[in-house]
Structure 1
Amino acid sequence: MPRYYFHIHSHDQEYPDRTGEPLDDDAHAIAMAHRIVSEIAEEPEHREIEVRVVGRKGRAVATVASNGLK
């Protein structure tokens, strides 16, 4: 099962995911990123965030922002 990493960016802050999460495929990773954004964006100070999903060997999968998928 491939491992995906969810790097969180909020304003000028960056929170790298060093552990990752094993998921079935890109679609599941993108769905997880949407859940992460939804949960974090509930906090007033983090309304504008994005989660960059990275797959195996640093492959960019998607960027999910609080205002939609980029």
Structure 2
Amino acid sequence: MCRDRETKPLKYARAKIPHYWRVESEKGRAAVHAFELEPTTGAYTSVGIFRERMKVDAPFPLDLDLTKIKTRREQSE
């Protein structure tokens, strides 16, 4: 988890990747932490945390029902 929260964002920002999403399991449900690269600082800034529905326009239009995503535990049952 530390790698996803600390190492990857730094490497992606250095590579100038404009958007970074981190998907985590919260109480067995998907949560998407969305970040956008701030051009003036070269660091990521949070653009939202989505838990039930993810609706964004950037980097492309997306409307996703996160409640339909099965966790690894649910997939194995």
- Which TM bucket (shorter chain)? 0.3 to 0.5
Could you tell me the TM-score, scaled by structure 1's length? 0.33
Larger radius of gyration, structure 1 or 2?
Answer: 2
Higher RCO, 1 vs 2 (CA within 8 Å, ≥6 residues apart): 1
